[in-house]
Structure 1
Amino acid sequence: MVVRVLFVCLGNICRSPMAEGMFRAKVNAAGLTDQIRIDSAATGNWNLGNPPHRGTQQVLTKHGIDYSQMRARLIGQDDFSDFDYVIGMDGSNMADLEALKPLDSDVVLKKLMDFAPDETESEVPDPYYTGNFEETERLVSAGCEGLLQAIREKFDM
């Protein structure tokens, strides 16, 4: 069985590609590369085809994560059947995702920070506006760690 995880933010150039890369690194380190498929997407369409933001590139480079194939794409209806988990970064993303989600979809739709209950932040702030990529990195890492743990427990990996 392959568990499929899609990270979603507004533009798919900052938070969701950071989560995609950092989660992939954690999955690889856990030896689960063949069991978990990972992607990211946007709710908005103005960055389509663009690589991650330079701030996200710097974070991923620091962790030795290759982002050369990452390009912003728009979430679509098929994603709600193609993925088991659709993970948003903030309340605005979640509202957009809830509106897009087909009624018959059984996808797990949650915020990344739902998987980091020890954190005081309930959302991952957008560093495109805050400029604080270090805080985003810290929160994304905590959320990804908790998500991986939840998946491992649920699917006995």
Structure 2
Amino acid sequence: MKILMVCLGNICRSPLAEGILRSKLPDSFLVDSVGTISMHEGETPDKRAVKTAANHGIDISKQKSRPLHVSDFDKFDRIYCMDLKNLEDVISLTKNEEQRQKVHLFLEEAGNHQNSEVPDPYWGDMKDFEDVFQLLDSACNKISHQLQQHAITNKIG
């Protein structure tokens, strides 16, 4: 199974979500992340995101930002967006209902309230990054369980 995490610039939230979810899933799952903009293309995650992840034993330092490509809708089975604007931007690029069905609001899929968004810590400090990490970690626990159950039920990896 192939999972894609999406935020705005692919340097804070989605790299953290990618690293956290990857740490909770077997190697048979592919987890990647992208941004809805290309402003940071080729850059590593924000140093505060890297440090926060490292504080929890997760290395995201080698990830590289890239923008969402239309081909991602064919490549990935699930696409998780960090906020409503990301969700709207991603849905606007889908070509059909099959692609649309792959796109979800991350926290909503994790069982949080409807329209729940992962706050962008970019303009904040280390505490904001830690708060986002904790939110993502809790949600990734739920989502990793759901994905593994889905893979078992549908006999996919």
Per the normalisation by structure 1, the TM-score is: 0.88
| Contact 2:105–2:115 (Cα < 8 Å) also in 1 | no
| Corresponding residue number in structure 2 for 1:21 | 19
- The letter of the residue matching 1:65 is I
- The letter of the residue matching 1:115 is E
Listed one character per residue, the Cα deviations across residues 69-94 of structure 1 (whole Å, up to 9, x for unaligned) are: 20100000000000000100000000
| Contact 1:113–1:143 (Cα < 8 Å) also in 2 | yes
| Corresponding residue number in structure 1 for 2:132 | 136
After TM superposition, give the deviation of residue 146 of structure 1 in Å. 1.3
SS in 1 for 2:135: helix
After TM superposition, give the deviation of residue 123 of structure 1 in Å. 0.8
- The letter of the residue matching 1:39 is D
Runs of 4+ in 1 over 6 A off after TM superposition: none
| Corresponding residue number in structure 2 for 1:151 | 147
CA distance in 2, matches of 1:130, 1:143: 21
| Corresponding residue number in structure 2 for 1:39 | 32
After TM superposition, give the deviation of residue 155 of structure 1 in Å. 1.7
After TM superposition, give the deviation of residue 64 of structure 1 in Å. 1.8
Work out which of the residue numbers 5, 8, 14 in structure 1 matches 2:6.
Answer: 8
CA distance in 2, matches of 1:121, 1:58: 29
What are the ranges of 5 or more consecutive residues in structure 2 without an aligned counterpart? none
Sequence identity, in percent? 32
Residue 55 of structure 2 is aligned to residue 62 of structure 1? yes
1:90-109 matches, cutoff 5 A: 90-103=83-96, 105-106=98-99, 107-109=101-103
- The letter of the residue matching 1:67 is I
- The letter of the residue matching 2:78 is Y
CA distance in 1, matches of 2:69, 2:76: 11
| Contact 2:22–2:31 (Cα < 8 Å) also in 1 | yes
| Contact 1:114–1:143 (Cα < 8 Å) also in 2 | no
CA distance in 2, matches of 1:119, 1:139: 13
Listed one character per residue, the Cα deviations across residues 80-131 of structure 1 (whole Å, up to 9, x for unaligned) are: 0000001000000000000011215445211110233257981100000343
Per the normalisation by structure 2, the TM-score is: 0.88
SS in 1 for 2:43: coil
After TM superposition, give the deviation of residue 68 of structure 1 in Å. 3.3
The alpha-carbon distance between structure 1 residues 68 and 58, as it changes in their structure 2 partners (threshold 3 A), is closer
SS in 1 for 2:152: coil
